[in-house]
Amino acid sequence: MTGRQTLFGVELDPLTMDETVARCLAAVRDGSPLEIGVVNAAKLVNMRRDDRLAKAVSGCDLVLADGQAVVWAGRVLRAPLPERVAGIDLFLRLLAEAETSGIPVYFLGAEEEVLERMLLRVADRFPGLKVAGSRNGYFDDSEQAEIADGIARSGAQMLFLGMTSPKKEIFTAAYGTRTGASVVHGVGGSFDILAGVTKRAPESWQRLGLEWLYRALQEPRRLGRRYLTTNASFLLMTAREFVRPTPSAAASSASTASTNRSR
């Protein structure tokens, strides 16, 4: 597939996992920045409510379908996406490629204890990986510029952000280029999974698009109601989109510019 697909007014890149990895390695090779955004059902719902999040995600160089529900919605809404490109799977593929190719990486996110546990497991799994540096994800907005400069000084060519939305998207939009990393990838709760703090759903659950349910069963009080509400909102959003598609931000901007010129 070539060109972007518009889904819920968001432009997504219809890439497979292999194609995405190839794009990332090309960015490192060419020294050109590549900021990656991933969306699942919950994030697409939240982007309707949070303009800063919507702009940060839409401004990424690649926007990928992280959730199986997004792939299914693409089929229903005639905006087909070849497959799900899960953020954690892309994360692991890039770590393997970085180890093989000697690409230095930086980890930013999670609590200090979780980060340290993850680093130990990463070192065991990818013993030849060059870790240029790491830092926990607890900092004030006023520290962002200093953190970005520290990453730049480390020489990291791949930066992985283990932070929640919208913090990681906003950091990427504001300081991704300043970090000097060729690839900037927000991996959300992947640090917790690699550290063994949370468990990822079995592959059978993933194929059925039930990762959210597996997470909710692990933390029912914190996540149960949130996931049910978000999923209901996503289904309603999909039904509305089937009747009246939302134009992409790019198309809306072009239409506005055309209207202004004709006045």
Residue scoring higher pLDDT (151 or 188): 151
DSSP code for 165: T
Bridge partners (DSSP) listed for residue 184: 35, 159
Percent of the chain with pLDDT over 90: 76
* pLDDT above 70 for 109: yes
For the chain, what is the mean pLDDT? 91
* pLDDT above 60 for 258: no
Q: At 111, is the secondary structure helix, strand, or coil? A: coil
Give the C-alpha separation, 157 to 103, whole Å: 6
CA separation, residue 9 to residues 35, 89, 182 (Å) = 19, 26, 27
pTM (2 d.p.): 0.89
CA 72 to mean position of chain CA atoms: 18
Per-residue pLDDT band for 225 (boundaries 50, 70, 90) equals confident
Nearest to 252 by CA among 79, 8, 2: 8
Q: What is the model's pLDDT at position 249?
A: 63
Instruction: Tell me the per-residue pLDDT of 166-186, one tens digit each, with 9 for 90 and over.
Output: 899 999 999 999 999 999 999
Number of structural domains (the chain) is: 1
Give the C-alpha separation, 31 to 25, whole Å: 10
Average pLDDT over residues 96-119: 98
Average pLDDT over residues 223-231: 84
Q: What is the model's pLDDT at position 226?
A: 78
Give the C-alpha separation, 244 to 252, whole Å: 15
Domain encompassing residue 256: 5-262
Q: At 158, is the secondary structure helix, strand, or coil? A: strand
Asked whether the beta carbons of 174 and 144 are under 8 A apart, the reply is yes
Q: What is the model's pLDDT at position 54?
A: 94
What are the DSSP calls for 175-212, one per residue?
HTGGG--SEEEE-TTHHHHHHTSSPPPPHHHHHTT-HH
Q: What is the model's pLDDT at position 250?
A: 56
The H or E element that residue 38 is part of is: strand 34-39
Instruction: Tell me the per-residue pLDDT of 20-36, one tens digit each, with 9 for 90 and over.
Output: 999 999 999 999 999 99
Residue scoring higher pLDDT (253 or 129): 129
Asked whether the beta carbons of 149 and 178 are under 8 A apart, the reply is yes
Average pLDDT over residues 245-255: 63
* pLDDT above 90 for 125: yes
Asked whether the beta carbons of 129 and 98 are under 8 A apart, the reply is yes
263 class by beta-carbon count within 10 Å (0-12 exposed, 13-18 middle, 19+ buried): exposed
Instruction: Tell me the per-residue pLDDT of 45-86, one tens digit each, with 9 for 90 and over.
Output: 999 999 999 999 999 999 999 999 999 999 999 999 999 999
Q: What is the model's pLDDT at position 201?
A: 86
